[in-house]
Structure 1
Amino acid sequence: MKISIVLLTLIIVNLSTASRILFLFPTPSKSHMIIVHALSTALAEKGHHVTVFSPFPLNKKINNHREFESPIRPELKELFRKFTTGEVSKFKMLFMFPKLGVQLAEDMIYTDDFQRILNERFDMIIIGLTANHFLLGFGEHFNCPTAMLSVQRHSSYTNIPVGNPIEINAVNHAFFPSGSLKNFIHRVQNFLAGVFDILMFAGIDYYEKLAYEKIFPSSRHRSYEESKSNISLVLVNDHFSEGNVRPNLPAVVEIRGIQVKEIPDELPQDIQKFLDDANEGAILFSLGTNFQTAFLSDNFVEMLMKVLSKLKQKVIMKWDSEINEKPENVMIKKWLPQDDILAHKNMKLFISHCGLGGIVESKYHGVTILGLPIFGDQEVNCNEIVSEGWSLQLNLKTITENELQNTINELLHNETYSNKVKKFSQLYQDRPMSPKESAIYWIEYVIRHHGAPHMQYFAVHQNFWQRTSLDVLAFLAICVIASFKLLKFVFKTLLGKLFKSKKTISVSKKTK
């Protein structure tokens, strides 16, 4: 009887503290959702009721976790495909990004599923950063606090809305590896990149404001600026142990590594046996979720297989196209549990496109990387880990058989690389709370304190002149100028009277 009462009490307490949390992530990249789902499923496991809108729902059912699929138009899919294959340049994509993000978000809003949930109650909304700040307007609609989750590193896009310091002089831009501000030229480059970042954000903001005013007209809703200034929390896929130390406000929480499991899931039996039997070690090959291996040339595939066949190590590959002659030491799968595989004791090397997720997982598990960056931020990510000393890089378009074979052997047999990454692994794991625990704590904190306005930086409610103190400087300049002119007038008047007095005395003496 006592046990039943205790259980009933626990159930009542759990129900009373469970919150309803809405995730809005109309992202064109499937890999982004790995980080999002790591958080959303953890919140569901904690007892919260989670609803997720994205183009890439999970293929399994989880208690308290509800998913709705948002559409991606065929022309947007094709555009993103061209970007991943290099047919559309990074520079051109930057100009297309605002319209792309707004279009994806608008298409999500007008689905029947989304229209139905507009009548539901939510305690918090978590929005992904893909040119969709205008979705913050739903915070007012549901009368609940809003948070942003960035699957990328710190940028003006994450910092400006909450007033987080940008510090261009001392914090590396995401374009450059950490520790590159040691000379004047690098600081000039960093400054220009930071200014470009701010201008790009302003351009994106223009499109988002237009979308906001269309969906949330000023006659019935607060302004776009007010919605942005009421963000309660920003979760950023970054961490100071990466080497890029920066000042952060209390409302900005770094969660790099949130998708890494402290206890890996059990691997499928065939993969488990394949890795267990890898007495000489194992290598993981993956070019990510967005890039299709069918895009690779026949010559490259033939060369790659030839090199892998000569290795003593077993190689497990994420590969979505057909291979005519597969070496005996190679296993091919269309999908792989990457984090769980990297956690295996026999893993020696990861041949990767250098997406942020894979880098985090490799660093956490202490596995060296051979980088083959393809598009987006992958080149910068690869440069970063090469500069840290536990990775080497090759060009996917110009790579030769000898280059690939020699680089793999260098990473496998030179312990300098493995020792470096093991030190990083120790540093990476040494935290007071795991990234998942930290994210959940602050989400629950914001909900408990109804948006936690006491944690908000006052600067977000100031205009440009007030934030930069230009109005104060102008006032002080006017005061200084006015004081100078007043003193000048006083001295001029006094001196005039003094000279006049002396002149009068002099004339009087002459008269006598």
Structure 2
Amino acid sequence: MWSTNERKQDQGDDNSTQRPVKGLLEKRSKGRPLKRWADDIKELAGKDWLILSQNRDKWKELEEAFTRKGTLVHTNEAYKILVVLPVKVPSQNILCNGYVDNLLRAGHEVTYITPFPRKELPPKFRQIVFDYPDNLMPGNILTIEKILNKSIDVMDMSLIISPFLDGVVHCLRDKNVQNLINDPNESFDAVIIEWLMLHVISGFAAVFQAPLIWSNPAEASWLPLSVVDEVPNPAYAPDILADYFHPYTFWQRAKQLLKQISMPVILYYFNSKTEHHYEEVFVAAGKKKGIALPSMAEVNYNASFMFSNSHVSLGEPIRLPQNFIPIAGYHIDQKPKPLPEDLQKIMDNAKHGVIYFSMGSNIQSRFIPEKMKREFLDMFSKFKQTVLWKFEDVLPDLPSNVHIIKWAPQHSILGE
């Protein structure tokens, strides 16, 4: 990471009034680094550290020694991190909160741009809250009723991107967000942004002259990989919306190729509509600070790396570059919070176990057609298990083994 002082040095000539962005586009000097990560291990384990790594007990001792060494040497290396969630999607808020909580536990200062305000504000945490209209929430657009009657096509990526675009623009125009962007005293050491296929939000990293870290909320696939690496071979790389699995047939591979050709065209259309927002919001703020920002595309494709809510053991086999880092499960609390008293009582009295049923945050159960609701209840009534159904409304005439909860502490329920 580049230090704050280094980022603030003036790189222009005597007649220039603007400084080019450092950190985003600069290249390191030629030659090998002065010290590599393996050199630190050799200091503790010796030159035969690769052989020692095969001995689990010995390697565990070395891990503890290495951690103690790092703790003693690097006790003052805390950073200022900006985490950005520009849309109101509850599931993605959970993922972003995972970054916030883990960074705070590590001693860093965290600023979180979010439409989900926290009631309790821990030390070293600041939230920049912006209002978000309910009509822009994907859950109110992609309803299960519209999916079932086929009035919308869930495979249509433009249908998914469109509400994201409106939400991002709404975020950028918010007064609280504008104040942060235009504050000349604000600085960050890194910016973590939820990847939404829209280039304009990468401007947060550019305007603060900080390394950009994308956060991929789903499994590794060709589209997010194309942001930090070359586009993988369509014969092997999965598509996030594909309804087929390896090994692909000839026509499935052809379909994958067609998607890799058509999707960039769709994204180009949507991203071209945000160019003027990048200029009006970020470039204008940069000029006030005396900073010359790169183009929107340059910033978008020059991320330091991408975190991904995925793991190689759970998804499709695919080649991953070193700057694509799977961290599945990072958002899950190691110690789940206690359940509310009423839920704990239900769990304790469930002699045959509990079935937890949820459609997630985007597809809400209250939009299920009435006939299908009754069919679900009829099916649940035949189970000997207790059923917890996350349902956003009142549902009458429930079977004795079915309980409706409007909000569910999912981690605590599953960890019970």
Q: What's the TM-score once normalised by structure 1's chain length?
A: 0.59
User: Structure 2 CA distance, aligned partners of 1:260 and 1:37?
Assistant: 10
Decide which moves more: 80-89 or 123-132. 80-89
User: Structure 2 CA distance, aligned partners of 1:302 and 1:151?
Assistant: 33
Tell me the secondary structure at the aligned position of residue 240 of structure 1: coil
User: Structure 1 CA distance, aligned partners of 2:166 and 2:373?
Assistant: 36
Instruction: Tell me if the contact between 1:236 and 1:256 (Cα under 8 Å) persists in the aligned partners.
Output: yes
Tell me: CA distance 1:28–1:93, structure 2 relative to 1, closer, same or farther (3 Å): farther
> Which of these residues, 302, 307, 328, is aligned with residue 230 of structure 1?
302
Instruction: Tell me if the contact between 1:164 and 1:248 (Cα under 8 Å) persists in the aligned partners.
Output: no
> Which of these residues, 8, 24, 27, is aligned with residue 87 of structure 2?
27
Tell me: CA distance 1:301–1:92, structure 2 relative to 1, closer, same or farther (3 Å): closer
Aligned to 1:211: 277
Per residue, is there more helix in 1 or in 2?
A: 1
Tell me: CA distance 1:228–1:291, structure 2 relative to 1, closer, same or farther (3 Å): closer
Letter in 2 for 1:314: T
1:102-501 matches, within 5 Å, as 102-118=165-181, 119=183, 120-176=186-242, 179-217=245-283, 220-344=292-416
Instruction: Tell me if the contact between 2:134 and 2:140 (Cα under 8 Å) persists in the aligned partners.
Output: no
Aligned to 1:402: none
Deviations 1:95-120 (A, max 9, x none): 35555333322322232222332321
User: Structure 2 CA distance, aligned partners of 1:201 and 1:317?
Assistant: 37
User: Structure 2 CA distance, aligned partners of 1:140 and 1:82?
Assistant: 32
Deviations 1:295-352 (A, max 9, x none): 23333333332332332111122122112222222222211111221233xxxxxxxx
Aligned to 2:118: 58
Instruction: Tell me if the contact between 1:20 and 1:123 (Cα under 8 Å) persists in the aligned partners.
Output: yes
Aligned to 1:473: none
Tell me: CA distance 1:76–1:327, structure 2 relative to 1, closer, same or farther (3 Å): same
Tell me the secondary structure at the aligned position of residue 241 of structure 1: coil
Instruction: Tell me if the contact between 2:219 and 2:315 (Cα under 8 Å) persists in the aligned partners.
Output: no
Aligned to 1:41: 101
Q: Percent identity?
A: 23
Cα distance, 1:149 vs. partner?
0.8
User: Structure 2 CA distance, aligned partners of 1:153 and 1:96?
Assistant: 20
Aligned to 1:458: none
Instruction: Tell me if the contact between 1:41 and 1:65 (Cα under 8 Å) persists in the aligned partners.
Output: no
Q: How many residues align?
A: 333
Tell me: CA distance 1:282–1:160, structure 2 relative to 1, closer, same or farther (3 Å): same
Tell me: CA distance 1:70–1:132, structure 2 relative to 1, closer, same or farther (3 Å): farther
Cα distance, 1:20 vs. partner?
1.1
Q: What's the TM-score once normalised by structure 2's chain length?
A: 0.71
Question: Which runs of no fewer than 5 residues in structure 2 stay unpaired?
Answer: 1-70
Cα distance, 1:124 vs. partner?
1.0
Bigger radius of gyration, 1 or 2? 1
Deviations 1:334-371 (A, max 9, x none): 11111221233xxxxxxxxxxxxxxxxxxxxxxxxxxx
Cα distance, 1:243 vs. partner?
4.0
Instruction: Tell me if the contact between 2:216 and 2:307 (Cα under 8 Å) persists in the aligned partners.
Output: yes
Cα distance, 1:148 vs. partner?
0.8
Tell me the secondary structure at the aligned position of residue 313 of structure 2: helix
Instruction: Tell me if the contact between 1:31 and 1:289 (Cα under 8 Å) persists in the aligned partners.
Output: yes
User: Structure 2 CA distance, aligned partners of 1:315 and 1:92?
Assistant: 31
Tell me: CA distance 1:180–1:287, structure 2 relative to 1, closer, same or farther (3 Å): same
User: Structure 2 CA distance, aligned partners of 1:57 and 1:73?
Assistant: 15
